[in-house]
């Protein structure tokens, strides 16, 4: 997939945000981490809104074959770009809230959020690939479930209410993550598998691509909501 996306592009959109995040989390100031978090969030939101409000309607007016051709060029790039921006935005935001003292009692809340993301994502990914009863799926689900159960047992005794704004932000982040990693990313992988098959099904590529474009608009709306919440938290 990296070859289709352009190896330099794939490496750049993964390495640059992640290295900036690592620097901000380890030795950078909170201002540096704020910059990384905000810029990744702006790009993530901007791309999603463009996909949902501009590109989606334009592509929707094309014939199936033309839609498939667009998604064959677009999908390899978004498969690398969007997860990178999402991870940096979310991880950077949680770390920043802790540094600024805006997120008391963080450990149990993070454990709850991770559980609410990971379990549905595993099931949604398996469902898209018709693998809910596959032994490998059951093994992964078992590891995820047991690991998160142990994490919750360890952290929940320390649970205490955080601010309503932080709780709302965590809820929105959970929705964004489940949608992004459980629906959009597996859809892009399914499109890629079709593209590289001996007889690509343009109807399937077009259908998944249009679904993802519409869901990107939903993500953009959620991101606008969380921006409002974050402004409230900060000021």
Give the pLDDT confidence of 171-196 residue by residue, as tens digits: 999 999 999 999 999 999 999 988 88
Res. 145: pLDDT tops 70: yes
Give residue 22's domain range: 2-104+162-234
Domain count, the chain: 1
Q: Is residue 89 part of a domain?
A: yes
Q: What is the pLDDT of residues 207-231, one digit of tens each?
A: 999 999 899 989 999 999 988 888 7
In a domain, 25, yes or no: yes
Question: Tell me, what's the pLDDT at 215?
Answer: 92
| Structure tokens given for 51 | 């996909």
Contact 25, 33 (CB under 8 A): yes
| Residue 234: per-residue pLDDT | 66
- 126 in any annotated domain: no
72: enclosing H helix or E strand:
helix 64-99
Q: What is the mean pLDDT of the chain?
A: 90
Q: Is residue 120 part of a domain?
A: no
pLDDT tens figures, 54-65 = 888 888 888 888
Is 20 inside a domain boundary? Answer: yes
pLDDT of amino acid 62: 85
| 119, 169, 105, 154 alpha-carbon torsion, rounded to 10° | 0
Closest CA to 184 of 75, 92, 91, 90: 75
Provide the pLDDT for residue 90: 92
pLDDT confidence of 235, banded at 50, 70, 90?
low
**Calpha distance 108→26 (Å, rounded):** 22
pTM, full prediction: 0.90
Which stretch, 3-17, 91-105, 117-131, 154-168, has highest mean pLDDT?
117-131
- How much is the average pLDDT of 115-123? 95
Residue 1 pLDDT greater than 80, yes or no: no
Q: What is the dihedral of CA 188, 201, 61, 76, to 10 degrees?
A: 30
The pLDDT tens digits of the residues spanning 19-56 come to: 999 999 998 888 899 999 999 999 999 999 988 888 88
Task: For residue 56, tell me if it sits in a domain.
Answer: yes
91: tokens are: 């991880």
151 in a domain, yes or no? no
- Domain annotation covers residue 122: no
> How far is residue 52's CA from residue 45's CA, in Å, rounded to a whole number?
11
């Amino acid at each position: 997939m990296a070859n289709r996306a352009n190896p330099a592009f794939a490496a750049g959109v993964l390495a640059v945000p992640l290295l900036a995040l690592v620097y901000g989390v380890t030795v950078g100031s909170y201002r540096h981490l704020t910059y990384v978090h905000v810029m990744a969030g702006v790009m993530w939101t901007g791309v999603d809104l463009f996909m949902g409000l501009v590109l989606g309607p334009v592509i929707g007016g094309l014939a199936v074959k033309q839609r498939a051709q667009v998604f064959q060029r677009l999908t390899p790039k978004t498969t690398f770009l969007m997860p990178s921006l999402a991870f940096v935005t979310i991880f950077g935001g949680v770390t920043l809230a802790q540094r600024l003292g805006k997120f008391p009692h963080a450990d149990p809340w993070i454990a709850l959020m991770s559980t609410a993301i990971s379990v549905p994502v595993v099931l949604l990914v398996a469902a898209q690939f018709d693998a809910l009863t596959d032994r490998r799926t059951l093994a992964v689900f078992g590891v995820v479930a047991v690991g998160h159960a142990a994490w919750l047992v360890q952290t929940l005794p320390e649970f205490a209410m955080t601010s309503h704004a932080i709780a709302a932000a965590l809820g929105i982040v959970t929705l964004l993550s489940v949608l992004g990693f459980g629906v959009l990313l597996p859809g892009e992988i399914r499109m890629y598998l079709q593209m590289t098959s001996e007889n690509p099904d343009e109807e399937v590529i077009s259908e998944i691509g249009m679904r993802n474009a519409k869901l990107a608009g939903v993500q953009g709306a959620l991101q606008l909501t969380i921006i409002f919440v974050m402004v409230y938290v900060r000021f």
